[in-house]
């Protein structure tokens, strides 16, 4: 495809997420954006599972009595499938992120569908029955949306994030970033792996969890996985 034609096509290629993240998203695509029931904050993690980071995240969540939804990468699951069982045994949900962490905006429709299929197969082999899907970088293309729905997956993005992929991020900065987005009825995005981020960036994210608990408590929010978020 010529460069000029590709530039024109890219906005359409990621139209679902483009609409969700626009100012019209909360009204037109609230479920896709991750807006659920009032008084609840869904907490989600991307890019794992990591044999070092994910258990640490799970421990920090357990200290708060929280359960979360983990959007995992198929190739990470295949390296250590037992981590999926660990998350399930702790009461967490396991969703699909991708097989490899690649931006779908640069892939062909066939490659996108295959990536979603391979990720789903890897997670199923590890013992999970995933319900949720979130693409890398939140770049939800029509092809990924269709591929996910054919596998019985429900795409969901986020309303706030900690920008915890940065090496210089502190727990306080992560909390402050989260506070700038929608919490009440919203969906929070964090990371339990640095496979697509700065090395060690998951550590301040773990340390931020007590600060996030204070933030949620100040707004009288309960915190839990997407399955308790009222997205039906």
Q: What span, in angstroms and rounded, lies between the C-alpha atoms of 36 and 47? A: 23
- The C-alpha angle 24, 32, 184, rounded to 5 degrees, equals 80
Which residues are catalytically annotated? 46, 191
pLDDT of the chain, 232 residues: tens digit per residue: 233 333 344 445 567 898 999 999 999 999 999 999 999 999 999 999 999 999 999 999 999 999 999 999 999 999 999 999 999 999 999 999 999 999 998 899 999 999 999 999 999 999 999 999 999 999 999 999 999 999 999 999 999 999 999 988 999 999 999 999 999 999 999 999 999 999 999 999 999 999 999 999 999 999 999 999 999 7
User: What's the pTM?
Assistant: 0.94
């Amino acid at each position: 495809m010529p460069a000029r034609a590709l530039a024109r096509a890219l906005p359409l290629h990621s139209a679902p997420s483009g609409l969700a993240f626009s100012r019209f998203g909360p009204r037109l695509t609230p479920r896709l954006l991750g807006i659920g029931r009032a008084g609840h904050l869904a907490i989600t993690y991307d890019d794992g599972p990591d044999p070092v980071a994910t258990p640490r995240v799970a421990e920090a969540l357990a200290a708060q009595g929280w359960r979360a939804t983990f959007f995992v990468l198929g190739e990470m699951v295949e390296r250590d499938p037992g981590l999926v069982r660990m998350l399930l045994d702790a009461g967490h949900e396991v969703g699909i992120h991708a097989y490899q962490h690649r931006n779908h905006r640069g892939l062909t429709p066939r490659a996108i569908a295959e990536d979603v299929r391979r990720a789903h197969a890897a997670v199923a082999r590890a013992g999970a029955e995933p319900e949720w899907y979130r693409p890398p970088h939140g770049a939800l293309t029509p092809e990924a949306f269709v591929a996910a729905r054919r596998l019985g997956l429900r795409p969901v993005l986020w309303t706030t994030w900690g920008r915890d992929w940065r090496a210089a991020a502190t727990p306080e900065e992560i909390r402050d970033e989260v506070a700038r987005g929608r919490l009440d009825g919203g969906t929070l995005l964090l990371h339990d792996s640095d496979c697509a981020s700065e090395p060690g960036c998951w550590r301040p994210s773990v340390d931020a969890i007590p600060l996030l608990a204070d933030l949620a408590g100040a707004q009288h929010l309960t915190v839990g996985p997407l399955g308790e978020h009222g997205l039906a």
